[in-house]
Amino acid sequence: MFVLGIDPGLTRMGYGVVEKSPAGIRAVAVGVIRTDKDQRVSERLLELHRDLTAIIKEHAIDAAAIEQVFSNHNRATATGTGRASGVAMLALAQAQIPVVEYTPSAVKMALTGYGAADKQQVQRVVQMRLGLDAIPKPADAADALAIAVCHVQAAGLQIKLDKAASA
């Protein structure tokens, strides 16, 4: 099963693809889709859509998870992030890929057991779980892998709960 994790952003959208198999979990692809802040917003959203659609096709994605948009601090950033999140969900829906949203604290809790863990703690757990030589850079890419790993864990838990309920 191939899972795509997305850390939405209008200037930088992080993505991480992991494969879950009986042998475990491994990173397949990680990176950032960048847009030029001097372009019109509509052009930037189109660019995000095109690039994300290509990633979905290239890696035969089965499921996706995206960080839920939430910001108390900067209205402009929240607006751009919300737009980018919507474009990501559209691309996934067009490819008929189920998508789940996770709050940042849910991702932190799933990976570290502590919902207020700092970014470095989460990144180190991702590095260890995926057997990576280094923490992916930039942080948007590392966050996207964390979201994908969170979803793999949540999906595994749901399967166990379903089996227990039917027993």
Run of H or E including 31: strand 24-34
For the CA atoms of 27, 105, 162, 3, the dihedral, rounded to the nearest 10 degrees, stands at -20
- CA count, 13 A, side-chain hemisphere, 142: 22
Active site residue 62: no
- CA count, 13 A, side-chain hemisphere, 37: 6
Active site residue: 7, 19, 51, 143, which one? 7
pLDDT digits (tens, 9 = 90+) for 141-163: 999 999 999 999 887 655 444 45
pLDDT digits (tens, 9 = 90+) for 80-114: 899 999 999 999 999 999 999 999 999 999 999 88
Q: What is the pLDDT of residue 152?
A: 93
Q: In 3-state terms, what secondary structure has residue 65?
A: strand
Q: What is the pLDDT of residue 54?
A: 98
pLDDT digits (tens, 9 = 90+) for 36-76: 999 999 999 999 999 999 999 999 999 999 999 776 566 66
Active site residue: 19, 51, 140, 143, which one? 140
Active site residue: 47, 67, 118, 133, which one? 67
Residue among 96, 2, 81 at smallest CA distance from 48: 81
For residues 122 and 145, is the Cβ–Cβ distance under 8 A?
Answer: no
* Top-tier CATH class for 2-166: alpha beta
